[in-house]
Chains A and B, each alone.
Chain A
Amino acid sequence: MSEGKKAMKKPGQKPKIFTTLFLVLSSVVMIFPFVWMLLSAFKTKADVYSYPPKWIPSTFTWDNFTEVFIKIPFFRFYANSIGVAVIQTILQILVSAMGAFALTKLEFRGRKSMFSFMQSSMYVPEVVTMIPLFLLAAWAGMVDTYAGLILPGLTCAFTTILLMSFFETLPDELIDAAKIDGCGYYRVFTKVIIPNSRTALGTASLFAFLTHWRAYLWPLIITNNVNMRTLPIGLKYLVSDPTFEYQILMAASLMAIIPILIVYLLMEKEFVQSITLTGLKA
C-alpha cells in the first residue's frame, strides 16, 4: 500500500492533502452513478441518443416518468414491495424477539441444542431451499399470492441471534422485579423486555427491512403475474422489454432509489450501526 508515510506522518497536524484528495476522488466515483441517473432521468431521447451523448440535459423533461407509468404498473410494484417488506419485517421481528426472549431469559431443557440447531440453519444458502420451497408453495396454491411472497422470507435465525445478544445484556433483576410485582412471563416480555430494547429492535428491524426490500431470487420465482411483482422484479423485466430506452430506465430507477436513499441520509448512524453489529456478531 503506497499510502502511509506522507499521509500519516504526524497525526493531527497540518491538513492531510493527499488523504482528503483521494477521499474526494473516491467519493465522486461512488456518487457519480447516482448523479448520472438523476440527470439522465430528465433527458430527452434526442439527448441520450445524440452523438456524442450529452451529459447534461439540454432541456429538462418529465416525460420519462410518465412513460414509466405507461409501460409498467409502477405504483403496484411499489405498493407490493413496501407492503411485503413491511409485513415481513414485523412478523420476523415478532417471531425473533419472542424466540430470543425464551432462549436467553427462560430456563427449559434443550435450550442449548435449540440454539445450535437454529444456528446451523444459517449455513444453508437460499438457493438450496428455493427449489423445494417453490414446489411446497405451488402445492399450497401460493404462487402469485402475497402469502407466497411473504411467508418463505421469514427466516428468523439471524435476527433471533442478533436480538439474543442484546437481551443477554438486560439484567435479570429487571425481570425479577417485574415478577415480584406480579407479572407473568408474557407481561415481562411486553412490559419489560420490549420497552428496554427499543434500539436493538430498531437495528434488527432496519436490517430485516433492507434484506426484504432488496429480495430478488424468491420474488422472481414465486411471481408470474405482472401485478404481483415487487420493485426489483418489475425493474428486471423493464430491461428485457425490447423497446426500452435508457432515460426511461433512469426515471424508474430514480423513483425506486430515492425513498431508500432519503431514509438512509436521515438515519445514516443507525444504518452503520446495524452493519457493524450484525457484521461482527454473525
Chain B
Amino acid sequence: METDSNGIVPRVRRTRRKGGLQARDQKRAAAVMLTPLVLTLFFLFVLPVVFVVVMSLTNWSLTNTTRDFVGFKNFLFVLKDGRFWKSMGNTIYFTAFKIVLDTLLALFIAVLLDQKVPFRRLFRIAHFAPVVVPITASSLIWLWFYDPGIGPFNQILTTLGLPALQWLYNEKTSLLSIIVFSVWKGLGYNVILFLAGLQSIPESYLEAARIDGASERQVFFKIKMPLLTPVTSFVIMMGLINCLKVFTEVDVMTPNHGPLESTLLLVSYIYDQSFTRGKMGRGAAASLLLFVVVFAFTLLQRAVSRKSVSYE
C-alpha cells in the first residue's frame, strides 16, 4: 500500500483551497490549534535536548555552584569508568536474555491462542493481566517470591529436593531473577501483537497451502512466519529499545544495585551519577551515550520494517 506518512488530503482539494480568504482562515486556525503542541515540543524536547548537550560539556553539579566548560572531559570520564561498562554489560545481558525468552514464548503462546481452543478469551485475559498493573506493585509480589528465607520459590525447590537459591541476593542470579520477572510482566504485550499478526493472515493462503499438501509445520514456517516478519521485527526492535531504558523493576527490587552492583543498568548508572552523586554533567554525558545507542537501534528498526514482506 502506498501511503505517505502524513499525507492525506487528495490533491484536487488541496489546489481548490489554496489562495483566497479560506486559505488565510485555515492558516490562522492551524496556528492556533498547533500552539499547545508546539509549546510542549519546545519545553519538553528542544529545550531539554539543547540543555543536556550543554550540561554534558560542563562540570555541572548539584552540590557545587561553579559551572565551567570542561570540553569532553565528562565523556572521557564515563567511557573510562568501570561502573559505566559494568552497567553496559549488565544491560546487554539483560537485553539478550529478555528478548530471546520474550519473543519465543510470546510467539509460542500466540500460536496456541490462534487455534480453536475452549476458553480462549480467558487465556488471553490471563496472559495480558500482568501488563496493566503498575510495575512497582507487581514487583513487590516477586520480591517475596525471591525471598531466600520464606519465599515460595525456595520452598518449592527444597520440596523437590533441589538446593535453595539466593535469588536477588547473589550476584550470579540477581539479574536473571529480574529478567524472569520482567518477562512475566511484559509477555502479554507481545502475545497480543503476535496474535493480531497471526489473525490478519488471510485464511485463503493457509488453505491454498494445505490443498497443495503442505504439512502444518510447513504452513507455519513457510507461510505464517514470513508473513509475521513485520510483527517479529517490531517486537524484537521495540524490545531492544525498551530494554535499554529499563529502570523501575531494578530500582524497586534492588534499590542498591544488587550484590556487587550486578543489577546496575544503564539508566540506574545515569540516575546514580546525576541524582545520588549530584554529578549532573557526567550524568548528562552518559545519557547522551545511551541516546546514541537507542537512536542507532531505532534507525535499524525503521530500515528493517521498510523492507518487510508483503503479499498484497
Contacts and interface: CB of A to CB of B under 8 A. Distances in A.
A99 interface: yes
Interface in B243-286: 244-245, 247-248, 251-252, 255, 267, 270-271, 274-275, 280, 283-284
B51 A135 contact: yes
A95 interface: yes
Contacts of A130: 287
A155 B40 contact: yes
A31 B52 contact: no
B133 interface: yes
A275 B115 contact: no
Interface stretch (B76-84, B94-102, B147-155): B147-155
A236 interface: yes
B126 A30 contact: yes
Question: Which residue of B5, B133, B138, B184 has the most chain A CB atoms within 10 A of its CB atom?
Answer: B133
A159 to B, nearest CB: 10
Contacts of B283: 131
Given A9-B216, A30-B188, A103 B109 contact: no
Contact of B220 (A4, A24, A111): A4
B45 A125 contact: no
B5 A22 contact: no
Contact of A236 (B47, B252, B284): B252
A239 B255 contact: yes
SS of A interface (majority)? helix
B130 interface: yes
Interface residues of B, number: 109
Contacts of A16: 115-117
B288 to A, nearest CB: 7
Contacts of A126: 245
Contact of A107 (B9, B132, B193, B220): B9
Contacts of B170: none
Contacts of A125: 244-245, 287, 290-291, 294
B223 interface: no
Contacts of A95: 36-37, 40
Given A240-B255, A253-B137, A217 B247 contact: yes
A282 B230 CA distance: 12
Interface string A35-51: 01100100000001101
A248 to B, nearest CB: 10
Contacts of A99: 33-34, 36-37
B140 A253 contact: yes
Interface stretch (B11-19, B85-93, B171-179): B11-19
B47 A136 contact: yes
A95 B122 CA distance: 37
Interface in A40-73: 40, 48-49, 51-53, 55
B142 interface: yes
Given A33-B184, A118-B37, A172-B13, A280 B193 contact: yes
SS of B interface (majority)? helix
A12 B234 contact: no
Contact of B192 (A104, A265, A276): A276
B193 A276 contact: yes
Question: Which residue of B123, B124, B137, B274 has the most chain A CB atoms within 10 A of its CB atom?
Answer: B137
B49 A236 contact: no
B252 A249 contact: no
B115 A11 contact: yes
B137 A257 contact: yes
Interface in B107-130: 107-109, 111-113, 115-119, 121-130
Contact of A31 (B26, B31, B47, B129): B129
B34 to A, nearest CB: 5
12 contacts: A27-B123, A30-B130, A34-B129, A123-B298, A125-B294, A130-B287, A131-B280, A217-B271, A235-B137, A239-B140, A253-B141, A261-B129
Interface of A: 1, 3-5, 7-9, 11-12, 15-16, 19-20, 22-24, 26-27, 29-31, 33-34, 36-37, 40, 48-49, 51-53, 55, 94-96, 98-99, 101-109, 111-112, 114-115, 117-119, 121, 123-136, 151-152, 154-157, 160, 164, 168, 172, 184-186, 189, 210, 213-214, 216-217, 220-221, 231-233, 235-236, 238-240, 246, 249-250, 252-253, 256-257, 260-261, 264-265, 268, 271-272, 275-276, 279-280, 282
Top 3 closest pairs, chain A to chain B, by CB: A99-B37, A185-B29, A132-B51
